C-alpha cells in the first residue's frame, strides 16, 4: 500500500494505491466525509461487481447510499447525464455536506466530479478509479467535465471534448489495482499509453521499469500494476501541484494529446483514447525532429516500446492532412489559429513550444501515415 499526497489550493488529498483496498472504502470515507449520504455514480460495466462492493462497504460504515450507473460513452458524457444525476441527488436528499462517490473509468470520474463540483455549488467527491488510465491520470489533478456539441458549421456534427468543466479536487482517490483484473486488455494498454507519456515527461526510470515488468503488467498482476500506478501518480501529482489550474507547466501533460484528440473522434479509425495518444506521441516526436528539437537517439527505441506494448504507432488508415489540421483547429487549446504544442526533447525533458510552423505539423502527421 502507498499513499501519495497531492497539494492543491483548498488543502491536499491522498491518492491511496492499495491492492485489495476497495474493502477499506467505508472506513476511509469516514475519515474525509462530513455528511452521511452518498450518491454513488458507477460505470455500468462495473455496476454489478466493484460498485456493489463499494456500496456495501460504505453502508457498513454507516453511509446511506443511492447508487446509479451510467454507460461509458463519450456521447453520454454530457450535460443531460449530469442533469439526470442532479435529479438523483435531489431525490436522495443529498445536502451540502454529503458526498459523490465515483466508481468507474475516467469518463465516469469526470462526469461524477463535475456533478460534485456543481451540485449545490459543490460537495465532497471521492474517486474510485477502475481503469488504469483513470488511476494514473484522470483521477489525479482535479479536472472534471463533460463534452459539448460543437457549432455545426458544415453539417458535420462534432463533439467538443471536455468543453464544460471545473477544477474540483477530490477528497480522496482510492486506487485498488485488483479492480483492473476485469479490465479488457485493450483498455489496459490504453492506460499504459498514458504511463509511457508520464515517462517521457519526467522519468526514464518509469519507461525502463515498464519494459522490465511488461508481461506481468499486461496480465494485470496487482503487485506490478500497483508499482506502475504509484510511480505514474507521483509524476502526475508533481506536475499538477506546480500548476493546478493549467496556466503554464501543467500543459506538458497534453503531450501527444493535441494530435490524439484530432484523430480520436474519427469513427473509421476506431481508436480508443490511449491508442490515439500513442499515435499522437509518435507524431509529437516527429514534430520535435521537424523543428530540430529532438535530442539523442531514443526515438526509434521508444516507438518500438509502444509496439511491444501493443499500441498503434501509425494511423490505421490514411487521413488527409487538411482534415487533421482542421480538426486540430477545433481543439480548445489552439489560440487564434497559432498552434502551441508540447514537444519532447528526450525522456525527462519536454517543453511547451508556441507558434509551431504549420509545415512542421504537416510533417508530423505525414510521419504517422497521413495523406
Ligand X SMILES: NC(=O)c1ccc[n+]([C@@H]2O[C@H](COP(=O)([O-])OP(=O)(O)OC[C@H]3O[C@@H](n4cnc5c(N)ncnc54)[C@H](O)[C@@H]3O)[C@@H](O)[C@H]2O)c1
Binding residues vs ligand X (CB under 6 A): 43, 45-46, 72, 77, 104-108, 110, 130-131, 133-134, 137-138, 141, 143, 161-162, 179, 182-183, 187, 190, 273
Distance CA 121, CA 295 (A): 47
Q: Is 257 noted as a catalytic residue in this protein?
A: yes
Q: At what angle do helices 222-242 and 204-218 cross, to 10 degrees?
A: 150
Residue 67's DSSP bridge partners are 40
Of 240, 234, 189, the C-alpha closest to 210 is 189
Q: Is 64 noted as a catalytic residue in this protein?
A: no
- Which one of 273, 305, 327, 339 is the catalytic residue? 273
Determine if residue 193 is left, alpha or beta; phi over 0 gives left, psi from -120 to 50 gives alpha, anything else beta.
Answer: alpha
- For the CB of residue 250, give the shortest distance to ligand X in the complex, in Å: 10
The count of other CB atoms within 10 Å of the CB of residue 98 is 24
Q: Is 250 noted as a catalytic residue in this protein?
A: yes
Q: Is 273 noted as a catalytic residue in this protein?
A: yes
Give the nearer residue to ligand X in terms of CB position, either 108 or 368: 108
- Which one of 143, 171, 197, 198 is the catalytic residue? 143
- Which one of 127, 171, 254, 264 is the catalytic residue? 254
Q: Is 245 noted as a catalytic residue in this protein?
A: no
**Angle at the Cα of 29 (from 26 to 35), degrees rounded to 5?**
110
Give the nearer residue to ligand X in terms of CB position, either 37 or 77: 77
**Angle at the Cα of 79 (from 78 to 84), degrees rounded to 5?**
105
Give the nearer residue to ligand X in terms of CB position, either 72 or 231: 72
Determine if residue 203 is left, alpha or beta; phi over 0 gives left, psi from -120 to 50 gives alpha, anything else beta.
Answer: beta
Distance CA 280, CA 313 (A): 8
- For the CB of residue 370, give the shortest distance to ligand X in the complex, in Å: 23
Give the nearer residue to ligand X in terms of CB position, either 131 or 290: 131
End-to-end CA distance of the chain: 48
**Angle at the Cα of 45 (from 40 to 49), degrees rounded to 5?**
70
- For the CB of residue 87, give the shortest distance to ligand X in the complex, in Å: 22
Q: Is 261 noted as a catalytic residue in this protein?
A: yes
Give the nearer residue to ligand X in terms of CB position, either 270 or 355: 270
Radius of gyration of the chain (CA): 20
- For the CB of residue 193, give the shortest distance to ligand X in the complex, in Å: 10
As given in the structure block, the three cell numbers for residue 146 are 463533460
- For the CB of residue 185, give the shortest distance to ligand X in the complex, in Å: 11
- For the CB of residue 62, give the shortest distance to ligand X in the complex, in Å: 26
Give the nearer residue to ligand X in terms of CB position, either 81 or 131: 131
Contacts of 27 (CB under 8 A, 6+ apart): 61
- Which one of 77, 189, 234, 236 is the catalytic residue? 236
Give the nearer residue to ligand X in terms of CB position, either 62 or 184: 184
- Which one of 158, 246, 345, 349 is the catalytic residue? 246
Give the nearer residue to ligand X in terms of CB position, either 265 or 316: 265
Q: Is 236 noted as a catalytic residue in this protein?
A: yes
- Which one of 234, 261, 327, 339 is the catalytic residue? 261
- For the CB of residue 129, give the shortest distance to ligand X in the complex, in Å: 7
Distance CA 120, CA 100 (A): 12
Sequential DSSP letters for 87-103: HHHHHTT--TT-EEEEE
- For the CB of residue 152, give the shortest distance to ligand X in the complex, in Å: 21
User: What distances in angstroms separate CA 87 from CA 74, 119, 204, 313, one per listed residue?
Assistant: 21, 10, 47, 43
**Angle at the Cα of 271 (from 270 to 272), degrees rounded to 5?**
125
Distance CA 280, CA 257 (A): 6
Q: Is 308 noted as a catalytic residue in this protein?
A: no
Catalytic residues: 121, 143, 194, 236, 246, 250, 254, 257, 261, 273
Amino acid at each position: 500500500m502507498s499513499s501519495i499526497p497531492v497539494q492543491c489550493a483548498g488543502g491536499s488529498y491522498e491518492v491511496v494505491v492499495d491492492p485489495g483496498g476497495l474493502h477499506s472504502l467505508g472506513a476511509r470515507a469516514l475519515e474525509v466525509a462530513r455528511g452521511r449520504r452518498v450518491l454513488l455514480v458507477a460505470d455500468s460495466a462495473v455496476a454489478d461487481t466493484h460498485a456493489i462492493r463499494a456500496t456495501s462497504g460504505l453502508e457498513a460504515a454507516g453511509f446511506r447510499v443511492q447508487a446509479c450507473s451510467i454507460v461509458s460513452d463519450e456521447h453520454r458524457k454530457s450535460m443531460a447525464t449530469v442533469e439526470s444525476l442532479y435529479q438523483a441527488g435531489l431525490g436522495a436528499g443529498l445536502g451540502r455536506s454529503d458526498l459523490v462517490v465515483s466508481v468507474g473509468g475516467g469518463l465516469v470520474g469526470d462526469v461524477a466530479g463535475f456533478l460534485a463540483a456543481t451540485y449545490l455549488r459543490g460537495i465532497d467527491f471521492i474517486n474510485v478509479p477502475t481503469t488504469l488510465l483513470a488511476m494514473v491520470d484522470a483521477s489525479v489533478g482535479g479536472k472534471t467535465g463533460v463534452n459539448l456539441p460543437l457549432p455545426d458549421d458544415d453539417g458535420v456534427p462534432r463533439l467538443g471534448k471536455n468543453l464544460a468543466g471545473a477544477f474540483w479536487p477530490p477528497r480522496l482517490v482510492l486506487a485498488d489495482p485488483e479492480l483492473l483484473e476485469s479490465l479488457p486488455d485493450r483498455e489496459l494498454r490504453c492506460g499504459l499509453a498514458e504511463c509511457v507519456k508520464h515517462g517521457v515527461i519526467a522519468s526514464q526510470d518509469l519507461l525502463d521499469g515498464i519494459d522490465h515488468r511488461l508481461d506481468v503488467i499486461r496480465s494485470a498482476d496487482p503487485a506490478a500494476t500497483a508499482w506502475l500506478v504509484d510511480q505514474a501518480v507521483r509524476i502526475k501529482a508533481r506536475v499538477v501541484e506546480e500548476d493546478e489550474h493549467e496556466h503554464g507547466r501543467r500543459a506538458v501533460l497534453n503531450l501527444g494529446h493535441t494530435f490524439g484528440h484530432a484523430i480520436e473522434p474519427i469513427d473509421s479509425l476506431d481508436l480508443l483514447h490511449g491508442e490515439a495518444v500513442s499515435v499522437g506521441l509518435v507524431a509529437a516526436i516527429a514534430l520535435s525532429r521537424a523543428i530540430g528539437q529532438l535530442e539523442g537517439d531514443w526515438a526509434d527505441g521508444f516507438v518500438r516500446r509502444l509496439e511491444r506494448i501493443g499500441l498503434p504507432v501509425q494511423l490505421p488508415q490514411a487521413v488527409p492532412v487538411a482534415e487533421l489540421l482542421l480538426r486540430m483547429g477545433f481543439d480548445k487549446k489552439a489560440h487564434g489559429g497559432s498552434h502551441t504544442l508540447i514537444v519532447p526533447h528526450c525522456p525527462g525533458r519536454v517543453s511547451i513550444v508556441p507558434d509551431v510552423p504549420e509545415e512542421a505539423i504537416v510533417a508530423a502527421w505525414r510521419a504517422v501515415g497521413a495523406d
